[in-house]
């Protein structure tokens, strides 16, 4: 297979595999591009250095919701815009616009706070996450960039914000919802992209597989989210890496009963279009 783009990976987070080796493994296949994600102000320098070393590596700007606790929103947005202006030839989207109520609640389980105190923190943090989400959407509109979204136990709030802001230039990263929700997103934004990761190869992920099988091919892109979510046949055996994008694409082709060459070409075109690379 040729013309593959891993649309979402974190090679600087691999603990077992060498970062340079896995980047070289990917490009040794003569594949097209790798989009490396940074999630907070500390990781951006390393990611941007990678884009300077490799002409086919692109980067993102944005803040993961689990990294917002000590950040001042407006100052952060100003810094994100400044980073984009200084590196706009290599930055292709805004990440990470999402809400995450799963880790918010999970982290509070390990505290000694009473239930009333926990609920106050949950309410306050949810509001801050939503405001950060909206401000990053506003920044995306200003810079004419797509946003990448991952919801974790937040799908209704995510959809409501997209509907309220009337923002349609988005990608749903690491899709884990059902077909009905994907169809709802596509109805809101017919050109949005649903990004499938190694999850689509898991035997337990029947709803995700049903989505990959039935939504229009024009709405599909692929990713690894490496070093996480290693696809079958390497699940539980190896750290994930960008070269494993091919297994995600192969599974999508299998589910749709299509030739691998056709699916690879379509996903490639979709990725090039949404990132404008």
165-183 residue pLDDT tens:
998 999 999 999 999 999 9
Query: Closest Cα partner for 60 from 23, 11, 94, 97?
Result: 94
What's the whole-model pTM score? 0.90
**Half-sphere exposure at residue 114, Cβ-oriented, CA atoms within 13 angstroms:** 1
Tokens read off for 182? 């994907």
| Residues in CB range of 186: below 8 A, 6 or more apart | 192, 194, 215, 216, 219
Task: Judge if the upstream peptide bond of residue 16 is cis by omega within 30 degrees of 0.
Answer: no
Spell out, as residue ranges, where the chain has pLDDT lower than 70. Answer: 1-2, 39-43, 64-69, 95-104
Q: What is the pLDDT of residue 150?
A: 75
Task: Judge if the upstream peptide bond of residue 99 is cis by omega within 30 degrees of 0.
Answer: no
Q: What is the pLDDT of residue 66?
A: 65
Helices (H), 89-178: 101-108, 115-143, 155-165
- If one counts every other C-beta atom within 10 angstroms of the C-beta of residue 163, the result is 11
Report which secondary-structure segment, H or E, holds 58: strand 57-61
How big is the CA angle at 59 (ends 56 and 63), to the nearest 5 degrees? 165
Distance of alpha carbon 108 from alpha carbon 127, whole angstroms:
16
C-alpha pair distances (Å), 121 with each of 107, 126, 273: 11, 8, 40
CB-neighbour burial class of residue 275 (10 A; exposed 0-12, middle 13-18, buried 19+): buried
CB-neighbour burial class of residue 236 (10 A; exposed 0-12, middle 13-18, buried 19+): exposed
CB 54 within 8 Å of CB 23: yes
């Amino acid at each position: 297979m040729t013309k593959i783009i891993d649309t979402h990976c974190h090679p600087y987070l691999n603990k077992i595999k060498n970062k340079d080796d896995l980047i070289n493994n990917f490009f040794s296949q003569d594949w097209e591009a790798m989009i490396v994600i940074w999630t907070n102000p500390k990781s951006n320098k390393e990611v941007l250095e990678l884009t300077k070393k490799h002409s086919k590596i692109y980067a993102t700007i944005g803040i993961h919701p689990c990294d917002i606790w000590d950040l001042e929103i407006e100052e952060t947005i100003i810094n994100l815009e400044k980073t984009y202006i200084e590196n706009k030839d290599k930055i292709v989207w805004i990440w990470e616009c999402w809400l995450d109520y799963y880790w918010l609640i999970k982290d509070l389980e390990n505290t000694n706070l009473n239930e009333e105190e926990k609920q106050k923190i949950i309410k306050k943090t949810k509001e801050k996450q939503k405001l950060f989400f909206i401000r990053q959407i506003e920044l995306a509109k200003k810079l004419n960039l797509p946003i990448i979204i991952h919801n974790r136990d937040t799908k209704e709030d995510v959809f409501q914000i997209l509907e309220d802001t009337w923002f349609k230039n988005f990608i749903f990263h690491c899709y884990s919802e059902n077909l009905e929700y994907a169809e709802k997103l596509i109805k809101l934004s017919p050109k949005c992209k649903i990004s499938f990761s190694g999850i689509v190869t898991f035997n337990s992920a029947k709803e995700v597989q049903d989505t990959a099988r039935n939504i229009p091919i024009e709405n599909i892109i692929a990713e690894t989210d490496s070093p996480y979510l290693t696809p079958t046949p390497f699940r539980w055996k190896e750290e994930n890496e960008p070269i494993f994008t091919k297994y995600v694409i192969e599974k999508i082709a299998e589910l749709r009963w299509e030739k691998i060459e056709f699916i690879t070409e379509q996903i490639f075109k979709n990725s090039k279009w949404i990132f404008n690379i």
